[in-house]
Structure formats: C-alpha cells, structure tokens
Amino acid sequence: MNYSNPTHLQAAILDWAGTVVDFGSFAPTQIFVEAFAEFDVQVSIEEARGPMGMGKWDHIRTLCDQSPIAERYRKVFGRVPTDEDVTAIYERFMPLQIEKIAEHSALIPGALDTLTRLRQQGLKIGSCSGYPAVVMNKVVELAAQNGYVADHVVATDEVPNGRPWPAQALANVIALGVDDVAACVKVDDTVPGILEGRRAGMWTVALLCSGNALGMTHEQYQALTPERLDAERTRIHALFEGSRPHYLVDTINELPEVIADINRRLEKGEVPQLA
C-alpha cells in the first residue's frame, strides 16, 4: 500500500467566537475584564484580548503572569497570583460567561450562506473553541437557534491540552472520518488557533477583521475608511506572521475562494506541511 496525497479538501475545522459567531469576539474578552474586576484588579479589554484562543484557565494564567497585572494583583492581595488564585478567578469567570454568552451569540453576517456553500461542495464542518464544554454547550444551542449546526464540536476541556496544541483539531479529524490531515483546513481568528492547525498538519486560514485582532463590531468594521482598513490589515498581518498561516482573509465569507485555491494546490501535489 502506497501513500498518495489527497486531491481535495474533505473538512473545514472552524473556530467559534470571531469566526462564525460574535463579530469582534466580545463575549470572552469582556467577561475577563469583569471577572478580574470582582477581585478589585483592573484589566483592560486590550490586555484581555492578548492570549485569546487559549483555554480559559490558561488564558487567565497568562494574564496573571504579565508583570503589570501581577503587580496590580499584589497591591490588592499582597502576593502575585498563584494557581489557586487563577482557579478562583476562573470559577468566577465561568458563571459570568454562561450568563452573558447570549449577548454576543449572533452569527457573523453572511456566515450561514457561506457554510451552506461549503456543505454543497461536500465539506464536513468540524469545530473547536477555547471555551470549556459547559460554555460551549450554550454557544452551540444558541447557534442552532440561528441556523448553524456544526458536524462536530470539541471543547477545550475535552482533550488533554487545548490550543496551541493540535488535540482539538485532530479530535475533529477522527470524529468526522477524514482520511488525511492534509485534506483539512483550520480557520481561526487567533494565533493559538492557527498554531493548532499548523501543528495538526492542516491548511490554515487566519481571519483578520471578524475576530479578536481587530476587535470591532461589524458596524465599526464597515465604517472604516479604506486607509484605516489597510493599516489595520498590515498590523494584524504582523501579529499572525510567526504562526505562518497559509492564507489571511478578512472574514469567513472569503473561505470558498480559499478552498478552491487549496484544492488546486492539492491537485498539483502540494501539502500544507511543506507550504
């Protein structure tokens, strides 16, 4: 038996907030700010956005490891945050997140039509998120009410290690019955999500404008002048550079053209690991 490269994509593995739902990825970021505030520690929304894409406990740990935030915590509690302190913040974060997730549950404009086109091309739709299962269940429920149902969902606490490790993406490969990781494309608005796809051996697509990196509502995004939009794209390109995405586009609505290009590359024998 000999190995042969796949000649077309079989599955798209999609992130949730900032990719398919919640333009600007506001649901997780705002709740981080509120959770820290309940411990009398100020965290700006810009700081909260920094580690986006990680599992939420790891996200809080990363924030607490940043010197300015650790110093603010020390002024309140007389010590820098321990893992037990991180867990306490996380345990406050979780009910806040579940309570307020519906406020940011709208689908990205145009996403549902785009995903319908992908399914018509025979692609399976997998998904994963930095949310734990208890939050993910609510996100999935709300998305279904708006017409979006993924073929498979993997929460960050359903695998040994979340992003930037590849476990969630690979769990989708297994569940969807995909026969080669090179026949998958991972779509995400965060660097950890792109690293996840890269480490899983998949094609990767970074979203520049619908997610965490731009951090604007759809209305704010549409109101940007061409000059400001170009400047923001340049800035966000630089943020993603180290994670080496294969493609960078504004929103998921450009994905059909990307998939057509990947299929052309696969037919010529190219594979994502060498691209």
CA Rg value for the chain:
19
Residue tagged active-site, from 15, 22, 85, 188: 15
Residue tagged active-site, from 22, 56, 186, 189: 56
15 is catalytic: yes
Q: How far is Cα 96 from Cα 106, in angstroms, rounded to an integer?
A: 18
Assigned token pair, 156: 């960050």
Determine the 3-state secondary structure of 14 from DSSP.
strand
189 is catalytic: no
Could you write out the three-class secondary structure of 87-152? HHHHHHHHHHHHHHHHHHCCECCCHHHHHHHHHHCCCEEEEECCCCHHHHHHHHHHHHHCCCCCCE
Instruction: Answer for the pair 148, 19: CB distance below 8 angstroms, yes or no.
Output: no
The DSSP result for 55-77, as a single string, is: -HHHHHHHHHTSHHHHHHHHHHH
Determine the 3-state secondary structure of 9 from DSSP.
coil
Determine the 3-state secondary structure of 211 from DSSP.
coil
Q: Give the active site residues.
A: 15, 56
